[in-house]
Amino acid sequence: MDAAQGPAMVTIGCALRLLLFIALTCIACSQASAVITHTTVMRPQFVTFGDSITQRGFEPGWGSLLANAYQRRADVVSRGYSGYNSRWALQLLDAVFPQPSAAAPPPRLATVFFGANDAALPDRGSARQHVPLAEFKGNLRAIVQHLHRIGVPAVVLITPPPISEPDRITHVLQARRGGGTYGVHLEEPERTNEVAGQYAAAVEEVGAELGLPCLNLWQAFQAEQDWQHRLLSDGLHLTAEGNACLYRLLQQLIDQRFPALRVAALPMDAPDHSDIDPTNVQAAFDKHFSRRGGSREEL
C-alpha cells in the first residue's frame, strides 16, 4: 500500500462502518416501532368525559368500577374536569379526543356526562357556571358530532343527578366554615332539583334526536328510597353507594345497547397464565393472538 492508498482505505473503512451502524439502527427502530404499535392498540379504550362527578369517579367510584370490570380487556380513561360546564368542555375536544392514527385508534366507547354545572342558577352563587338550556343542548350536539367525526362508534349520554336542596345549603356552609373555596352564605340553594330535571330532560332529547342511548340518572336515583342521603354526599356528588348504582346502570346499558362491548365479549389482551406451557411459551401466545384475528403486531 502506498501513501496515497492509505487515507483512501481508511475512508472506505469508516464509510462501511457507518453504513453498518445505520442499517443496525434502522432494524432496531423498526422492531421498536412494531412493539409500540402492538402495545398501544392492544386493548380498546373507553373514555369518560364530564365534570366533577366524572373526575371523582376514580376516588374510587363508578369509573374505577368500570375499569375493574374491564381489566385486561379495555383501558378506561378518565377525562373529568371539576367545575366544568358544557361550554368550557367544547374547548377540550381536540385535546381529549384527538384525530386518530394507526397507533392510536379512536375510543370504542365514550360517556358524555355534563349538565350539573350548566344547571346552576344564573342569579345565585354559582352563576358563572350557568349555561342556558338551548345552548347546553347545542353544546351536547357539538360534542357528539366531534366524537362521530373521529370515529367513536359507541357514545352514551348521562344526565345530571337530582339535587337535594337542603343538603346543598348545608354543604356550602360547612365548606365555608372549614376554609373551603365557596366563601358564600346561602339563603337558597345555588341549584334546584326542578332545574336539574329540565337539563336531564334536555340530555334525553338530544339522545333521542341523535339516536344515542341516555342514562337518566335524575330519574333513576329518585326511584330509590332515601336517595338524598344514600346516593348523594352533598346534595349533588355521589356517595359510594351512588357511584355503585351509576356503574350498575351504565354496565346494564352497555350490555343492552352495545353487546359487542360486554365484558365477556371483549377478548383478554394476552393468554391466561394457566394456558402457557413452560416448555413451549410461544405456542400459547400465537394461539391467543390468532383467535383475535391477526398477528401480534396487528393487535
Name the residues annotated as catalytic: 52
Helix residue spans in 118-178 (DSSP H): 133-149, 165-177
Could you give the C-alpha distances from 194 to 119, 159, 161, 191, in angstroms and in order? 10, 13, 11, 9
Bridge partner residues of 79 (DSSP) = 49
For the four alpha carbons of 81, 84, 86 and 89, in that order, the dihedral sign comes to: negative
Residue 114 identity (one-letter amino acid) = F
Contact assessment for residue 41 and residue 103, using Cβ atoms and an 8 Å cutoff: yes
> Contact 46/76 with Cβ under 8 angstroms?
yes
C-alpha distance from residue 183 to each of 126, 151, 177, 208 (Å): 11, 43, 9, 40
SS3 state of residue 154:
strand
Contact of 284 with 276, CB cutoff 8 Å = yes
Give phi and psi for 41, each to the nearest 5: -110, 20
Task: Scan for cell 376516588, then name that residue.
Answer: 59
User: In a 10 Å sphere around its CB, with 0-12 CB exposed, 13-18 middle and 19+ buried, how is residue 120 labelled?
Assistant: buried
> What are the phi and psi torsion angles at 11 (to 5°)?
-60, -45
* Element spanning 29, H or E: helix 5-40
